[in-house]
Structure 1
């Protein structure tokens, strides 16, 4: 009887893990999907057009904490965006920065090439956190669309025209995000992961709605904004979920390109993934109502793509322990291989934090195992009520001082 229970635990754990990572993406490819058409947007080429009057007004909000290094590039990038000058405005908020972010933003805004921008620059004396800034500035403006952007992100010059085209084409669309890339190039493991995630987001959009948006740059209808709980960890998931709950769609467009300028060391990536994992558990617990049948296709997306994710570490532990207890040669052999791989990789990770294996396969395995270690730490951290801290910028390692995560 005991063996039957252990076998059931092992099989169920492995089945759920396989479903989340493998079967769900395959199902998305084979489900009878109604493909959404990428909206066509007109090319202004910086020349005013009669169509400009019909474009929605847009408010770009940029929370900035210790972003002195990147804020000038961000403002210069916004200065060349192809969109009517009187139809978008920018708010840069230095959130109690300990460097000279505020002064750098003022200097950038005063440059001749930025004089045409409708830009407000705020300096908060104390660090209140990104969520507080979103709640304050997203709810206190009267634009049609709100865009949230990182200070270290660079966007394509047609980004606002693409966003406007979506909201004009389909009134059921509530939020939109796009392709997220890094400078310098990612490791092979990280690149493989992001390619995997991009395919899923495209397929989820075709099915009705993608779940999480890329926090570096995303847009939503201002009328749909609802105050985010102050202790929210992943705003780029919680906010779109609130929009979907109101009956609107969140879509992904690969033409909407955002480039992350700030380099990140392995240590920074690891800390970021711990935080995201804690947020994954938080959003699964707080949004269980989205699993109800009335949400139909999105309930399937949410359960398969997001809800299961924070429980993967527990399932991995259960599958390993149950296979050890069963002590059958085959299962025990697989378990030993798995634990040796995890221990070896994690040991190298902590001892040689900035070192990466040379082999592409080894790098991918390194990234996967390190990610599951981070996921386990993040989930247990949140489960045992570790206090959620306001965002703090992790300093780049000295070797990466030229350009984040």
Structure 2
């Protein structure tokens, strides 16, 4: 029982904090031996790029998104724009149609985002395809900062940074912003060591020649598309100087809905990316993939529960004082999370409770997402979460 407790506690710690420590050390060693990875000089020979935006009923955002898109810095003769609005029944297609610089692709039926992206990719002739969401806004040099990495032939995809605006947010969804700051740091180190393990759909790009259409029922299409490229032996580079900014979820309920979908998609991705679990093929990538993704999406939430139960049993049977101290720490942390939830339901905001509340909510979402995947009730064409 004691051995099981320490293994459980170690894996929980490793998943959320230990991997970051190990990764930091490995990056420092790599830089000391080989030097810091350098961004290749393309000599001003910019690749042709196509920016693809899949929009579904985004009439409240779409004009701002278009203005943001058309103001991006990139050679005008090397960039084109495609907006796909399949299934939209508001004014989104009509508003886009007033801009001749943008190619509008619209069908009245709704088949899901990935079906729309596949349809758009059939029209892409550029060297690089860049994907971004309709409700996110890009920094002006994002296209330049992404495209420069493709001068390196080992790079198959480039992921931008997701930034969540948390100004004036006074509830537990502020934890989303803190979470993404931590994730950004891990991705920076992942990229420096070898490769990012999956791109976020808010802003990512691929070499058009490497794009593989994923199954139409794919939940995390951005993750799958990028990891299939990594599976071929190409690197996914993280570029924090290309960033997409969006507001946080409208409330915790909306954030939970999003997290449950991601968790269901995570399990689906693990099932479909079985080759990445083989360390003899690409050891470093497999190490990063299991440490950064697989543990979070599979066993860690169960180990959190197991560690607490075992800790309680050990203390009940008269374990050493250290077990009582660990039980006290766990109880305080989960108690703070529970208190955060109770106060949230009463519209009482205490910032110190945001982090434990968001952390536990995130792990609950993994359990709910696993159940949803097993039941087959998560559709690829999902109802998007409401944003602030």
How would you bin the TM-score normalised by the shorter chain? 0.7 to 0.9
Task: Please say if 1:68 is aligned against 2:59.
Answer: yes
- C-alpha root-mean-square deviation of aligned residues, in Å? 2.3
Whole-Å separation in 1 of the counterparts to 2:327 and 2:334: 10
How much has 1:334 moved relative to structure 2?
Answer: 5.2
How much has 1:174 moved relative to structure 2?
Answer: 0.6
Task: Please say if 1:124 is aligned against 2:80.
Answer: no
Indicate the residue corresponding to 2:77 in structure 1: 86
Whole-Å separation in 1 of the counterparts to 2:372 and 2:246: 28
Indicate the residue corresponding to 1:319 in structure 2: 307
Whole-Å separation in 1 of the counterparts to 2:68 and 2:259: 28
Task: Please say if 1:193 is aligned against 2:179.
Answer: yes
Whole-Å separation in 1 of the counterparts to 2:248 and 2:103: 24
Deviation readout 1:78-118 (Å, 9 max, x if unpaired) = 211222222221111112113211112223x1xxxxx5x2x
Residues 348, 270 of structure 1: alpha-carbon distance in 2 compared, 3 angstrom cutoff: farther
Whole-Å separation in 1 of the counterparts to 2:360 and 2:187: 23
Contact persistence 2:312–2:327 (CA under 8 A): yes
How much has 1:248 moved relative to structure 2?
Answer: 0.4
**Scaled by the length of structure 1, what TM-score is found?**
0.84
Whole-Å separation in 2 of the counterparts to 1:184 and 1:319: 33
In structure 1, stretches of 5+ residues that fail to align are 1-5, 43-50, 110-114, 401-405
Indicate the residue corresponding to 1:357 in structure 2: 349
Contact persistence 1:154–1:260 (CA under 8 A): yes
Deviation readout 1:345-370 (Å, 9 max, x if unpaired) = 44444x34xx46333x3222222122
The match for 2:243 among 257, 264, 270 is: 257
In structure 2, stretches of 5+ residues that fail to align are 319-323
SS in 1 for 2:281: helix
The match for 2:290 among 291, 297, 303 is: 303
Contact persistence 1:280–1:309 (CA under 8 A): no
Contact persistence 2:146–2:160 (CA under 8 A): no
How much has 1:12 moved relative to structure 2?
Answer: 1.7
Residues 146, 314 of structure 1: alpha-carbon distance in 2 compared, 3 angstrom cutoff: same
Whole-Å separation in 2 of the counterparts to 1:271 and 1:188: 16
**Scaled by the length of structure 2, what TM-score is found?**
0.87
Deviates more, 1:76-85 or 1:209-218: 76-85
The match for 1:142 among 115, 125, 138 is: 125
- Residues 191-270 of structure 1 aligned to structure 2 (within 5 Å): 191-260=177-246, 264-270=250-256
Indicate the residue corresponding to 1:45 in structure 2: none
Whole-Å separation in 2 of the counterparts to 1:337 and 1:164: 47
Indicate the residue corresponding to 2:321 in structure 1: none
Give the total of aligned pairs.
Answer: 369
Whole-Å separation in 2 of the counterparts to 1:247 and 1:16: 28
- Residues 357-376 of structure 1 aligned to structure 2 (within 5 Å): 357-359=349-351, 361-376=352-367
Indicate the residue corresponding to 1:46 in structure 2: none
Deviation readout 1:164-193 (Å, 9 max, x if unpaired) = 21102x111011122222345366533321
Deviation readout 1:295-326 (Å, 9 max, x if unpaired) = 12111101110111112111122223333444
